[in-house]
A and B are shown apart, each in its own frame.
Chain A
């Protein structure tokens, strides 16, 4: 019997364990191995270089800039997403007619591909032509047409990147908040009303918000991870066949160009960068975990 259940265990878990080993564990180990070698254009390097790739990465201005870019992007996108998706959820929660329809309308953009949305944002909404949608709207208010993506000073490209990201993900986080809202027991509101809490801010502050605490933590964490993984819209909006500009280059785009771009694939330096990033993220996660635990 035990032998049979062991067999069943490996039968069901085996394929996934093999997949995990082959496509996740081995590549991670291999990447760590590569980071100590001069691995230009090869995954089977022979020249051991010690920590040279790490020193190179940590002194590379482009790499440090990429961490800055991620920070700016997260600072722009995380608070706005939390506030706007929460606001949307509260509004949709109040809707009495055609609720499913309204919910779907806001959720729909989430089903859109990042690449497609990026191209629409780049070529139609925020094109630098006078006839671009953003420039047309600007024209109604007497503004001069702007080259949204091409303008560095002031950095208007952030408007393009942030709005694209918001449009794509607001609906998803709205649904998370909506689910959490509907799980707050009705009797709490009734009790609050009996105790004399005014509907509106007071109720929201003392009943709704505490009830959403779990969802809030999840949304912030998911958002931070999403911001860290930013690649698609940056690559498709700012990159072109000739490469990528030196600004607004998030970590993954930097690593992509270092290790896989047409510019002589330097897998050693790319792997070192990946290891450093993994450490940074692990550290940030540990710190935030400790922070929440202390509060709880």
Chain B
């Protein structure tokens, strides 16, 4: 009898536990009703996390909970958007698929008079079919950092063409210092865009309906990347990647392609001995360029309260210009997304701001599909790293890109 009772009791307890487990599985992560969940990727610069938590705490309209996401943030967001109402507000770059599947809501009505104040190419990069889906938070850009003293010693001037860049990488390669660092994949990921632009090409063609690199010049320019790889001046296998200033700061390379955001650490290490140039042109029919990208604030269409989420985005990323200015300029170096906030820049930052205005190109257009991007970067990798024949590799990438872009146009 005693055994019987305890078995019943066990069953009852187990049943209750099971019910309780089901009950908490609401997908809202147990947050209080009315709380806005906001996600950021983990910014590498000190102080950003404190700042965004402070902004959220100051919002008078609702309780805002900030989640900081280290690791593969982009994949995490894609997964979250599939079936979840969390996060309500997040930073990302607009994808056409999200718009087609109604995962995100248009935000045109939040801008009001401020629309003209935002950098127009940035707004365009977050616009699909004439509607805006993300409010740019700040501008990120990448430039070529170099050590003027080392260039002078080698009798070189800052590279103004791709060939000069190749020559500089080789000649600066001396005394244990390598010529150039552009990531451990040798620039495949970060230089593909700048190389296309340097030859007067682009990811997409002028009207955005097909690939923009179906051209023999693409083979030529990626052949240059192969030359860079075989030239011996490239640093590969660094413990840190292109987005970290480590290799340049520690003096292991004379030139590094990296983000402007690293400027404070670089200046701290090398003082005045720092120069910047945009990625040079291949020849007269291409242009120098810097890639421009921006995480934008977006609103999840499945949010429990879309209007409250939009109101918060408007408050933080449209109305609170003091927060926006601090966010863009105080931690690492970014450029503000709005013309009215850009006035105070000087020195190297001013120079780079000039590059962005003159030759900024959208690093990842919303209409450029990920699968097309994978096909292109695989092709570039095989050309540059394995010495594959450029024309054939690019033909395959053009084919994939064409069908993927056509699919998005549906």
B373 contacts A263, C-beta separation under 8 Å: yes
Question: Contact at A148–B97, with CB atoms within 8 Å?
Answer: no
Please tell me if the beta carbons of A150 and B101 are within 8 angstroms of each other in the complex.
no
Q: Is A129 an interface residue (CB 8 A)?
A: yes
A62 touches B378 (CB 8 A): yes
Count of A interface residues, CB-CB < 8 Å: 39
A229 shortest CB reach to chain B, Å? 20
Q: A41-B97, A130-B176, A263-B371 are in contact. Are A240 and B184 (CB under 8 A)?
A: yes
With CB as the reference atom, state the residue of chain A lying closest to B71.
A241
B78 contacts the other chain (CB 8 A): yes
Tell me, rounded to whole Å, the shortest Cβ–Cβ distance linking A277 to chain B.
19
Asked if residues A264 and B371 are in contact (CB atoms below 8 Å), the reply is yes
Interface of B is mostly: helix
Does B239 have its Cβ within 8 Å of any Cβ on chain A?
yes
Inter-subunit contact B98/A41 (CB<8 Å): yes
- How many interface contacts (CB-CB < 8 Å) are there between A and B? 103
A-B contact pairs, 9 of them (CB 8 A): A122-B239, A126-B237, A129-B238, A242-B183, A242-B190, A245-B381, A262-B74, A263-B373, A265-B79
Q: How far is the CA of A146 from the CA of B79 in the complex (A)?
A: 38
The 8 closest A-B pairs by CB, nearest first: A128-B237, A150-B236, A263-B370, A147-B236, A262-B74, A147-B237, A246-B378, A242-B189
- Chain A residue with the shortest CB-CB distance to B232: A144
Is the pair A262, B381 in contact by a Cβ cutoff of 8 Å?
no
* Contact of A266 with B by CB under 8 A: yes
Chain A 245-296 interface residues, beta-carbon cutoff 8 Å to B = 245-247, 257, 260-266
Residues of B contacting A61 in the complex (Cβ-Cβ under 8 angstroms): 396
Quick check: is A82 within 8 A (CB to CB) of the other chain? no
Whether the Cβ atoms of B235 and A128 lie closer than 8 Å is yes
In the assembled complex, how far is the CB of residue B297 from the closest CB belonging to chain A, in whole angstroms? 18
The smallest C-beta distance from B191 to any residue of chain A, in angstroms, reads 11
Instruction: State how many residues of chain B have any CB contact under 8 Å with chain A.
Output: 43
User: B387 to chain A: which residues have CB within 8 Å?
Assistant: 153
A245→B378 CA distance, assembly (Å): 7
Nearest CB on A from B240, distance (A) = 9
Q: Is B310 an interface residue (CB 8 A)?
A: no
Q: How far is the CB of A7 from chain B (nearest CB, A)?
A: 9
How many angstroms between the C-alpha atoms of A146 and B238 in the bound complex? 11
Instruction: Answer yes or no: A50 CB below 8 A from chain B CBs.
Output: no
B81 within 8 A of A: yes
* Contact indicator per residue, chain B 88-123, by CB within 8 Å of chain A (1) or not (0): 000000010110010100000000000000000000
